[in-house]
Amino acid sequence: MTTHPRKTPETLRSKRWFGASDLRSFGHRSRALQMGFAHEEFMGKPVIGIINTWSEINPCHTHLRDRADAVKRAVWAAGGFPVEIPVMSVSEQYQKPTTMLYRNFLAMETEESIRSHPLDGAVLLGGCDKSTPALIMGACSAGLPFIYVPAGPMLRGNWAGKVLGSGADVWKYWAEKEAGNITDDQWKDMESGIARSHGTCMVMGTAATMMSHAEVLGLTLPGASAIPAADAAHPRMAAAAGKRIVEMVWEDLTPDRILTRKSFENALTVHMAVAGSTNAIIHLIAMAGRAGVSLTPDDFDAFSRKVPVIANLRPSGEFLMEDFFYAGGLPALLKQLESKLHTDAMTVTGKPISETIALATVYDDNVIRPLDNAVTTANGLAVLKGNIAPDGCVIKPSAAEPRLLKHSGPALVFEDYDAMMKAVNDEALDVTPDHIMVLKNCGPVGGPGMPEWGMMPIPKKLLKQGVRDMLRISDARMSGTSYGACVLHVAPEAYIRGPLAAVQTGDVISVDVEARSISVALTDAEIAARLAAWTPPDRDYPRGWGKMSAAHIRQADKGCDFDYLEGTAKIPEPEIH
Ligand code: FES
């Protein structure tokens, strides 16, 4: 076996900035001295960029300033030189129209921040939904050794003696409020109990799914992804990452030595086992693309057929991320999945994932179940295709009412979100439980940014009849904390004249999840004729980021990366003049 050459102080990338004896290096050194550092504190040492998505407008990342300090402390102790670099926070709760519009912004910012500065390695601090894929996409493209410090989930929610889960219980109790079963005072009381600490949403939503993916891909320290943000183990994990990144720089442990087809297949296995967020399909395809690995929605479908849901976590199961941590966290899940994993896949520890598994213990096998005791017989994910969605669309069968997984009914079509919201509140709406709600023009271009509008609210009229799920189809995404029979990510999207645009109210749509099919009872000629006569709605992005995104974003089945950011083409090191 060949040994990878180690870095030395002479071959550090940062030496080009600090170690030369020319005019520019004089400037670089003098400006480090200006910041109060002595020569011996930065010369000949690995410079570690702490890429921090902390922001006062992101409650999921409130603690990341402190975590950056923990990382710094350890980098200093390990003989490195830490520098904190702030980047966009992509705050899921507050940033509109959708943080998805800014995932590629953060990916670009991360890549360029790493490449343009005198860094030898990076520690990435994030966790709220899009921040994980964005940071990893950018750092992959930059190509330096990096390690991911996931923000970790917040504590369990608590209200009136009940355990509350982020998002999922908001949707659930909102439906009860709309049905008249919860008072305004009770609803207000719930506000103070649902988010009890800093950290990310604490169900297996998008944030927890993506942090789990980061860990199984080998990009975090073992066990990092499920540590509750408020647990003292969390800053200890951040410090351990600071120590490890310095070693990784000397070992030259770059992401291309970690991220392979095998590691992404491990992520697909974990995705199905946790019934992960549908959003992760888009993100994982984009992350794989940056690592030179080709993933498609069909890969997800293939893995969904062979990996059962064994993590008993909401929204598909019973428990929350805090319970998952106490049950052993991701290493324990990997232990249960061992027979289905590529255990030789490399991690940031410099050792294969088999070593993580060897040290893991399952403390509660109701939360993290063995393969022969699945949480549900339904798949964690299914990719459907047909004349509405030639390039595919997705549904999470484990989070839907089983009766809707094979269903035909008349379409109830909305051309945009506002029209849909107005209609669902109209108690005179002509709708039955058999109707299939269709929402158009919410895709990557039409949204813009593919907002999480796919879990359309059940019409008020049906809520009062006790209906809590119905079939819904859109080119939007839905929150990873959402549930229901929602068919999402229809590709190509309506706005660019995908066939979804041709569907009209009253058309009969058929969905058969077992057969992986979705179709509208129209001929190809009828669809073509309707599309020819169809005009997309106006989208008012005359300039700026929205305009740039619309011009370059790929469709959902391709990961929504920008066409000019995809791939692994090598960008030269910056000239230092
Ligand atoms: Fe940040 Fe859910 S809002 S993870």
DSSP label at residue 537: P
With b for 16 or more beta-carbon neighbours within 10 A and e for fewer, the 271-310 pattern comes to bbbbbbbbbbbbbbbbbbbbbebebbbebbbebbeebbbb
317: alpha, beta or left? (left if phi > 0; alpha if psi -120 to 50): beta
Task: Quickly list DSSP for 460-472.
Answer: HHHHTTT-----E
What is the set of domains in the chain, with CATH numbers? 46-155+197-358 (3.40.50.2300), 164-191 (no CATH), 382-539 (3.50.30.80)
State pLDDT tens for residues 221-251.
Answer: 999 999 999 999 999 999 999 999 999 999 9
Q: Work out which ligand 1 atom sits closest to the CA atom of 200.
A: 4
State pLDDT tens for residues 257-291.
Answer: 999 999 999 999 999 999 999 999 999 999 999 99
Please give the pLDDT value at position 171: 82
Please give the pLDDT value at position 168: 78
Cβ of 55 below 6 Å from ligand 1: no
Sheet holding 47-52, edge to edge: 81-86, 47-52, 121-126, 146-150
Q: Work out which ligand 1 atom sits closest to the CA atom of 92.
A: 3
Ligand 1 centroid, distance to 1 Cα (angstroms): 44
Cβ of 200 below 6 Å from ligand 1: yes
**Number of other CB atoms surrounding residue 551 within 10 Å:** 12
CA–CA separation, 296 vs 313, rounded Å? Answer: 26
To the nearest 10°, report the CA torsion of 229, 231, 235, 236. -140
Q: Work out which ligand 1 atom sits closest to the CA atom of 481.
A: 2
Ligand 1 centroid, distance to 88 Cα (angstroms): 15
**Number of other CB atoms surrounding residue 91 within 10 Å:** 21
Helix H or strand E segment including 323? helix 321-326
Cβ of 207 below 6 Å from ligand 1: yes
Q: How many helices (H) and strands (E) does the chain have?
A: 20, 14
Ligand 1 centroid, distance to 98 Cα (angstroms): 12
Please give the pLDDT value at position 2: 64
Among 89, 98, 128, the mutation site with the greatest number of ligand 1 atoms within 8 A of its Cβ is 128
Ligand 1 centroid, distance to 128 Cα (angstroms): 5
Beta-sheet pairing, 406-414 with 508-512: antiparallel
Strand partners, 409: 509
CA–CA separation, 210 vs 190, rounded Å? Answer: 27
Ligand 1 centroid, distance to 303 Cα (angstroms): 27
Output the residue whose Cα is nearest ligand 1's atom 2: 201
Ligand 1 centroid, distance to 87 Cα (angstroms): 17
Show the low-confidence residues of the chain (pLDDT under 50).
Answer: none
Please give the pLDDT value at position 481: 77
3-state helix, strand, coil split of the chain in percent (to 5) is 40, 15, 45
